[in-house]
Amino acid sequence: MFFAGSPFKTKMFNFKDACGIMKKIKYEVIFMKRLVAYFSASGVTSKTAEQLAELAGADVFEIKPKIPYTKADLDWRNDKSRSSVEMKDPSSRPEIAEKKDNMGDYDVIFVGFPIWWYVAPTIINTFLESYDFTGKKIIPFATSGGSGMGKTNEKLAPSCKGAELLDGEMLNHFDKAKTEKWLKKLNLG
Ligand SMILES: Cc1cc2nc3c(=O)[nH]c(=O)nc-3n(C[C@H](O)[C@H](O)[C@H](O)COP(=O)(O)O)c2cc1C
The pLDDT assigned to 26 comes to 73
How far is it, in rounded angstroms, from Cα 126 to Cα 110? 15
Ligand 1 centroid to Cα of residue 102, in Å, is 30
Task: Collapse the DSSP code of 37 into the 3-class scheme (helix H, G, I; strand E, B; otherwise coil) and give the result.
Answer: strand
- Do 139 and 186 touch, CB atoms closer than 8 A? yes
Ligand 1 pocket, Cβ-based, cut-off 6 angstroms? 40-46, 74, 76, 83, 114-118, 143-147
The pLDDT assigned to 31 comes to 72
Picking from 54, 62, 180, 179, the residue whose alpha carbon sits closest to that of residue 112 is 62
Residue 160 is given by DSSP the state: S
The pLDDT assigned to 14 comes to 82
Ligand 1 centroid to Cα of residue 6, in Å, is 36
The pLDDT assigned to 4 comes to 47
Ligand 1 centroid to Cα of residue 45, in Å, is 10
Residue 32 is given by DSSP the state: P
Ligand 1 centroid to Cα of residue 116, in Å, is 5
The pLDDT assigned to 30 comes to 65
Whether this prediction's pTM lies above 0.85 is answered by yes
pLDDT in tens, the chain (189 residues): 444 445 566 667 788 888 888 888 877 666 789 999 999 999 999 999 999 999 999 999 999 999 999 999 999 999 999 999 999 999 999 999 999 999 999 999 999 999 999 999 999 999 999 999 999 999 999 999 999 999 999 999 999 999 999 999 999 999 999 999 999 999 888
The pLDDT assigned to 130 comes to 98
Which atom of ligand 1 approaches the CA of 119 most closely?
8
Which atom of ligand 1 approaches the CA of 48 most closely?
26
Q: Which long-range contacts (CB under 8 A, 24 or more apart) does 86-90 make?
A: 86/121, 86/122, 87/116, 87/117, 87/119, 87/121, 87/122, 89/122, 90/122, 90/155
